[in-house]
Amino acid sequence: MAMTYLEAVRETLRQEMRRDARIIIYGEDVGVRGGVFRATEGLQEEFGEDRVMDSPLAESAIIGTAIGAAINGLRPVPEIQFADFIFPAVNQIVQEAARIRYRSNGTFGVPMVIRAPYGGGIHGALYHSQCIEAFFAHVPGLKVVMPATPYDVKGLLASSIEDEDPVLFLEHKGAYRSIRGEVPDERYLIPLGEAEVKREGTDLSIISWGMTVNSSLKAAENLAKEGVSVEVLDLRTIRPLDTEAILTTARKTGKVLVVHEDNLTGGFGGEVSALIAEHALFDLDAPIRRLAGPDVPAMPYAPSLEHAFLVTPEKIEAAARELAEF
Amino acid sequence: MAKAKGKAAAQKHRDGGLATEQLHEMYYHMAMARALDERCWVMNRGGQAPFVISGQGHEAAQVGAAMAFDPSQDFLCPYYRDLGVVLAFGVTAREVMCGLLARANDPSSGGRQMPSHWGHAGRRIITGSSPVATQILHAAGVALAARIRGEDTVAAAFFGEGSSNQGDFHEGLNFASVHRLPVVFVCENNGYAISVPLSKQMAISSVAARAAGYGIPGVEVDGLDPLAVYQATQAAVARARRGEGPTLLDVKVVRLTSHSSDDDQRSYRTAEDLAAERAQDPIPRFRAWMESQGIWDAQQEKSLAARIKGEVEDATEFALASPVPDAATLLDHVYAP
Ligand SMILES: Cc1ncc(C[n+]2csc(CCOP(=O)(O)OP(=O)(O)O)c2C)c(N)n1
Ligand SMILES: [Mg+2]
């Protein structure tokens, strides 16, 4: 069935909750309101207030209690209303959830999925636009999943819920309503840590994740008209990372453009680039190129500034064209 | 007769610290806040402003509280609903509209932040963010510095009741009370955190009760009455200036609009609830009270309305004609020059 990215989130939550009574959802406005983006709309009606509840406005409490609930046999899927508001919970995520397995010598685990809408381009300004993946991809013990399409949302969310360890599941706000795609009715799993070639190509490779995969595909399509053949690799999960897929595409085309919306310095693109430099340098025909958000604290509100910040299909196209000509 | 009544009323207000002119000023700020806010919604619906967040129903609380501070020496840390607070502290309608339309001359952020993320260096209004409750700690820190520097400054933090569940709220009250800092914590309690009613936010009905845990006074205030708010805030400010420490004000207000232009409160509040709140609108209420005291009449109302309409019009035109931020400034102000 064709559906939006947002519907894929909601329908997967519904399907998983029907299948597994251990799953509970809570967060700010997720109950009666169905979430500020409607990702949980109708779920409280179907599953009741015990399984879908509004929580007090306190992110540290949301995540900290979800850790306890996960340890005691549930599968919490807490929502952070905007990824930008995850920071009060960083202590609980980084110091607790991510290292409980390690610090208990494998005797405790935290099977929890934190859903959070991220990303900009929606007039969200400094605090409703951020990409937060780099902060969390740095943390061993945590998994970071960033789907680009409705199909991947379903398979990756189901896998995340089934996973025995804490997963940060980042959904791009811009994708919620603008990205549509076919999603099978039946349940399926996409393993965490498996990238996917979303478009085959021979001249250069774009490596990306989350929403910028869609922008990269647009750019690739335009470039194809000019005779430039672009391969687009969607990492889908950045931790665990599909190193093999990265090296394979780098070796295949010999030119790599890494694209992310998050700001450049210390962004996850640095990790991807380093891997290629370490393992496939002599297969390259051009220096690795990174296209990312500028190094300013966050995305401004004024449309002129927001547009200047964003990594658009046009900017990707220009960077890819330049790299192809190298 | 009306004159005698007016005199008596004026006397009464002087007892409470406010002369008739100040009551008129109070009403002006409240009415201005409402009119500007209504214009913001018109511009939102007209596609000129992507985002609006309102203080409608909070005006009496905001203006009553703000007027109890001294704009020449106190510092305010407001939150996104506080249009009435910033107007009463000297921010102009033009400045507000430049913020709404994200113009380069928006004094809060030059168009970088969402509208209503107030800040004004010249008006002693400290820049605020979106993550709620963070400013509560800033206010405590401002007060700490004032004490160390030997200034007579009082700091104020404004926030919603839902935000009083954040750690920053509890940590801020604790810090300020341990150090007896000159801070006033003003909770604008509208009973909702977006869609979540008070009963699901906390197991108590009074945010003021939280003050007891920090050994400071917690005062419930009728936020629909600007004089009650003014008096309660004035007492808290006086206590702070005397060096006796912070106060938590739990100011009960109504939220007459949806949470923001991205929300629709009809999906989680009943029509009766909304109508009941609408009937408690603090602005006509205050006007009726002034009329009953013989210090306001239809003629004054008419000329005030005309003045406000002109100012809102002027502000809108000014903002529309103001330049948008130059994309080349995107990288400015990440660090000091
Ligand atoms: C840390 C954080 N989490 C979530 C949000 C999203 N959010 C914005 S306002 C709001 C509700 C605030 O309620 P309250 O404190 O009662 O203030 P009100 O809006 O009612 O005036 C929420 C959840 C936020 N801004 N910051
Ligand atoms: Mg509230």
Are A56 and B324 inside 8 Å of each other by CB?
Answer: no
- B117 CB neighbours in chain A (<8 A) are 125
Domains of chain B, by residue range, sit at 2-321
Q: Which pair of tokens denotes residue B319?
A: 């903002």
A36 inside 8 A of chain B by CB: yes
- What is the full DSSP assignment across A152-173? HHHHHHHHHHH-SS-EEEEEEH
Predicted pLDDT at B16: 63
Distance (Å) from the C-alpha of residue B89 to the closest C-alpha of chain A? 25
A57 inside 8 A of chain B by CB: yes
Give per-residue pLDDT as tens, B165-199.
Answer: 999 999 999 999 999 999 999 999 999 999 999 99
Which of A32, A60, A296 faces B330 most closely, judged by CB atoms?
A296
Under 8 Å CB-to-CB from A53, ≥6 apart: which residues? A24, A25, A26, A30, A31, A44
Q: Which residue of B has its CA nearest to A53?
A: B200
To test the pocket of ligand 1, the residue of A37, A60, A81, A173 to mutate (highest count of ligand atoms within 8 Å of its CB) is A81
Classify strands A289-293 and B75-77 as parallel, antiparallel or unpaired. Answer: unpaired
Q: Tell me phi and psi for residue B150, to 5 degrees.
A: 70, 30
B323 inside 8 A of chain A by CB: no
A128 among known catalytic residues: yes
Which of the four pLDDT bands, split at 50, 70 and 90, describes residue B1?
A: very low
pLDDT at B14 over 80: no
To test the pocket of ligand 1, the residue of B163, B189, B199 to mutate (highest count of ligand atoms within 8 Å of its CB) is B163
Could you tell me what percent of chain B has a pLDDT over 90? 95
Domain made up of A196-325: CATH architecture: 3-Layer(aba) Sandwich (3.40)
Give per-residue pLDDT as tens, B36-55.
Answer: 999 999 999 999 999 999 99
- Ligand 2 centroid vs B81 CA: distance in angstroms? 10
Which of A31, A57, A126 faces B112 most closely, judged by CB atoms?
A126
Are B113 and A126 inside 8 Å of each other by CB?
Answer: yes
Predicted pLDDT at A306: 98
Whose CA is closest to B225, among B11, B16, B4, B70?
B16
B321-335 average pLDDT score: 98
Question: How far is residue B71 from each of residues B85, B90, B91, B155, B237, measured CA to CA in Å?
Answer: 11, 8, 11, 11, 13
Selected residues 126-155 of chain A with any CB under 8 Å from a CB in chain B? 126-128
- Ligand 2 centroid vs A325 CA: distance in angstroms? 56
Under 8 Å CB-to-CB from B313, ≥6 apart: which residues? none
Q: Is the pTM of this model over 0.90?
A: yes
- What is the full DSSP assignment across A23-53? EEEEETT-STT--TTSTTTTHHHHH-TTTEE
pLDDT at B2 over 90: no
Whose CA is closest to A254, among A283, A224, A277?
A283
Q: What fold characterizes domain A2-182?
A: Rossmann fold (3.40.50)
Which residue's CA is the nearest one to ligand 1's atom 20?
B193
Which of the four pLDDT bands, split at 50, 70 and 90, describes residue B8?
A: low
Q: Which pair of tokens denotes residue B197?
A: 């009613």
- Over chain A (326 residues), the average pLDDT of each successive run of 10 is 97 98 98 97 98 98 98 98 98 98 98 98 97 98 98 98 98 98 98 98 98 98 98 98 98 98 98 98 98 97 98 98 97
pLDDT at B13 over 70: no
**Tokens 């959070």 — which residue?**
A116
Helix ranges, chain B (H): 2-15, 20-45, 59-66, 83-88, 93-100, 134-149, 167-178, 198-201, 226-241, 271-278, 282-292, 298-321
Which of A54, A124, A128 faces B196 most closely, judged by CB atoms?
A54
- Ligand 2 centroid vs A188 CA: distance in angstroms? 41
Pocket of ligand 1 (CB under 6 A): A 28, 57, 59, 81, 85, 88; B 81, 130-132, 159-163, 188, 190, 192-194, 259
Q: Which of B94, B120, B138, B259 is catalytic?
A: B259
Q: How far apart are CA B197 and CA A229, in angstroms?
A: 55
B179 among known catalytic residues: no
Predicted pLDDT at B207: 98
pLDDT at B112 over 80: yes
Q: Tell me phi and psi for residue A217, to 5 degrees.
A: -65, -40
Could you tell me what percent of chain B has a pLDDT over 70? 95
B273 inside 8 A of chain A by CB: no
- A37 CB neighbours in chain B (<8 A) are none
pLDDT at B7 over 90: no
Which of the four pLDDT bands, split at 50, 70 and 90, describes residue B17?
A: confident
> Sign of the CA dihedral B169, B171, B177, B183?
negative
Are A29 and B194 inside 8 Å of each other by CB?
Answer: yes
Instruction: Give start-end residues of each CATH 3.40.50.920 domain in chain A.
Output: 196-325
- B102 CB neighbours in chain A (<8 A) are 301-303
Q: Which ligand is nearest to the CA of B133?
A: 1
Which of B168, B200, B331 faces A296 most closely, judged by CB atoms?
B331
pLDDT at B3 over 90: no
Domain made up of B2-321: CATH architecture: 3-Layer(aba) Sandwich (3.40)
- A92 CB neighbours in chain B (<8 A) are none
- Ligand 1 centroid vs B159 CA: distance in angstroms? 9
Q: What is the ipTM of this complex?
A: 0.95
Q: Please, what is the average pLDDT of chain B?
A: 95
